[in-house]
Amino acid sequence: MLCSLDKYGAGAEVSINGDVYSYGILILEMFTGKRPTNNMFGDGLNLHSFAKAALPEQAPQIIDPVLLGESQNKDDSRGIRRSQRSHERLLKIQECLVSIVEVGVVCSSEVPTDRMSMGNAAAALQAIRNKLLGS
């Protein structure tokens, strides 16, 4: 059985709400490293419900490890001070990645009126970027 979300890409009427949904799925796809067509999805589980179920406590486990790999490998043998800074940076990156997944989940909500607007999504992502960069 196809739901209205499945029909959107197959010729259903184009709408701003549909665009927001697609944007949310794209965010989830990019930051989890999972495609909506992944074999793990079925029997009611989809990319949206997978990400939503992980929020907030399990969200770091669904983030694509490639996104965390560079940060985890930057630790070197310059002592505890460097290690502490690296750990704090990794935690900040993880927190920002979880926030991005939250935006993706809200944008891809099954109920169109529960989705945030594109303007709010852009503002939320900009705020996350600013937090990460410390500006």
Domain boundaries along the sequence of the chain: 4-133
Q: What is the pLDDT of residues 48-104, one digit of tens each?
A: 999 999 998 898 899 998 887 754 444 444 555 667 778 888 889 989 999 999 999
Peptide bond into 112 cis (omega under 30): no
From first CA to last CA, the distance across the chain in angstroms is: 47
Per the prediction, the chain carries an average pLDDT of 84
Question: Which CATH topology does 4-133 take?
Answer: Transferase(Phosphotransferase); domain 1 (1.10.510)
